[in-house]
Amino acid sequence: KVCHSCGCRFAKIYPKELFRDEIIKSPEYLKILDDAKKPSLAKDFLAYAFICTMGKDFKEAYEFQLYAAWVCDDHNLEPEAIECRKQACLSIKKSQSYPHGFVNNETSGVVLVDILRRAKEFNECQDLIKHLEKIIQGSKIENEDIIESIIDI
Which pLDDT belongs to residue 52? 86
Handedness of CA 132, 133, 137, 139 (dihedral sign): positive
pLDDT digits (tens, 9 = 90+) for 2-49: 566 655 555 555 555 666 777 878 899 999 999 999 999 999 999 989
Examine the pLDDT at 99 and tell me if it is beyond 60. Answer: no
For residue 151, the model assigns a pLDDT of 58
What is the spatial distance between Cα 66 and Cα 48, in angstroms, rounded to a whole number?
12
Mean pLDDT of 91-112: 67
- List C-alpha distances in Å: 113 to 42, 69, 71, 110, 127: 22, 15, 20, 5, 9
pLDDT of residue 73: 96
d(CA 52, CA 118): 23
Q: What is the pTM of this model?
A: 0.74
Q: For 40-98, write each residue's pLDDT tens digit.
A: 999 999 998 998 888 888 888 989 999 999 999 999 999 999 999 999 988 887 875 65
